[in-house]
A and B are shown apart, each in its own frame.
Chain A
Amino acid sequence: MTAEWWQEGTFWLIAVGMVVSALRVVTTGNVVHAALYLVGTLLGAAAMFVLLFAEFIAWVQVLVYVGAIVVLMLFGLMLTRAPIGKGNLDNDQRLLAALCALALFGVTSWVMFEAFEGEEISFDRSIATTAENVGDVIFSTYVLPFEAVSVLLLAALVGAIVISRRDRG
């Protein structure tokens, strides 16, 4: 059994898990379960990043998405006291939404096949990027967008506090 075989097997295992838990996120009737299934999809994506030799992105994915965003979502569910259990979480256009999503999937996957069929990712150490590589590129080529993102985060933080505080003066 070659290394390539192991990589493909791992890919299919993770991909099936990701798709199943993503489907549960959009179909489950319990809001807390939806958030926990989202953790499954996000951890699967982190595993994909490891498979693609992007270790730094994988750790940021685990720390920021699973550690912060999902916890924030659970806080949001708690603070809005959303009905736990079987509630009316879906609207009445489910069929239309499914058709729309299927059409989108058909078009995008067809375009991807047409454009990139036959191109391979060669899995050897030459494509591995360390945190050092990523840091070099962030603070040289992409330093201006990086600063813009940090200002955006600060603005979002201040905005979220201003929007949700009770006593507005």
Chain B
Amino acid sequence: MPITYFLILSALLFSIGVYGVLARQNAVLILLSIELMLNAVNINLVAFAAQLGDAGVGGQVFALFVIAVAAAEVGVGLAIVILIFRNRQTVDVDDMSLMKW
């Protein structure tokens, strides 16, 4: 099976994630789109690990690291979103223009 199948699938998912980050207004939905992008990277890493065989187990280890960092990112990101909601009663990123001139 050609490895390009997996690479194209992952490129497509990453692009969909980029669209979500650019077009969404709700901060939690932007975090969801970032998860899509991180997941696309994981598919790439595991596909290359499978292609390399025994030498490629490091690729799977890095996929695990990406998952762990994604969990940390979601924790801190949601804490920030909840704090913003508590202070401003909105999670729309377009309304958070205090530091924009």
Contact = CB atoms under 8 A, between A and B. Distances in A.
A joins B in a complex: yes
B47 A65 contact: no
Nearest to A104: B15
Interface string A113-150: 10011111101001101000110111001100110010
Contacts of A22: 13, 16-17, 36
Contacts of B5: 11, 15
B23 interface: yes
Residues of B in contact with A, size category = 35 or more
Interface string A151-165: 011011101110110
A64 B67 contact: yes
A131 B20 CA distance: 34
B25 A72 contact: no
A127 B79 CA distance: 40
A98 to B, nearest CB: 6
7 contacts: A18-B13, A56-B60, A64-B67, A90-B24, A100-B22, A101-B15, A152-B72
Interface of B: 1-9, 11-20, 22-26, 28-29, 31-33, 35-36, 39, 42-43, 46-47, 49-51, 53-54, 57-58, 60-61, 63-65, 67-76, 78-83, 85, 91-92, 94
